[in-house]
Amino acid sequence: MFKKIAVAAALVAASSVSIAAPQTPFYAGVDVSSTKVEGFDDKGGYGAFVGYKLNENVAVEGGYHRLVDTDINFGGYRADTTLDQIDVSLIGSVPLSNGFSLYGRIGYNRLNGEIKSGGEKAKDHQQNALYGMGLGYAFTPVVTGRLEVQKPDSNVTKLVAGVAYAF
């Protein structure tokens, strides 16, 4: 019984140390996404990002995301298709209550597409404005979850769920 109480007390002490951790301007995170590209079914994706908070309400963020990685069929031909996003954004946030915040994103992104079929490979890219809106929730002062809708291109919509860690 004493061991259980000691373990519980150690966990409470450790969590209070992480809650009392000072705010730092740097953060990094990972996300998963569902991407809708006109003419294709929804595709799952993943990504990573890093950011720097200029102040409590403004941050600069950069990231890499794999939006699509799938096989498609064109009239009997099979092709491996990928679509990647590299982005840089300015993020403005407004704190709400109970750890929630609302944020908007505006920035630049480059979409890199590649199709491989039968030993042949074709690549293309587009550079576009990026915008989005999301809702964040601070689990602790250093761990934040977020849910966002992004528009990396006029025919691409991305729904993203991620977690960020301040360091």
pLDDT, one tens digit per residue, over 67-87 is 988 888 777 788 888 999 999
Asked whether residue 85 is domain-assigned, the answer is yes
Asked whether residue 149 is domain-assigned, the answer is yes
Residue 105 sits in a domain whose CATH number is 2.40.160.20
pLDDT at 110 over 50: yes
Asked whether residue 116 is domain-assigned, the answer is yes
pLDDT, one tens digit per residue, over 7-40 is 444 544 444 444 444 578 999 999 999 998 886 6
- Spatial contact of 156 and 149, defined as CB atoms under 8 Å apart: no
Q: In whole numbers, what is the pLDDT of the chain averaged over residues?
A: 87
Asked whether residue 12 is domain-assigned, the answer is no
Which single residue is written with the structure tokens 């996404």?
A: 33
Report d(CA 37, CA 41) in Å as an integer: 7
- Interacting residues of 104 by C-beta distance below 8 A, sequence separation 6+: 91, 92, 93, 131, 132, 133, 134
Asked whether residue 18 is domain-assigned, the answer is no
Asked whether residue 9 is domain-assigned, the answer is no
How far are the Cα atoms of 39, 48, 130, 146 from residue 30, in angstroms, in the given order? Answer: 27, 4, 18, 10
Number of independent structural domains in the chain: 1
pTM score over 0.85 = no
Asked whether residue 8 is domain-assigned, the answer is no
The pLDDT score that the predictor gives to residue 68 is 87
The residue that leads in pLDDT, 164 or 24, is: 164
Domain housing 61: 23-166
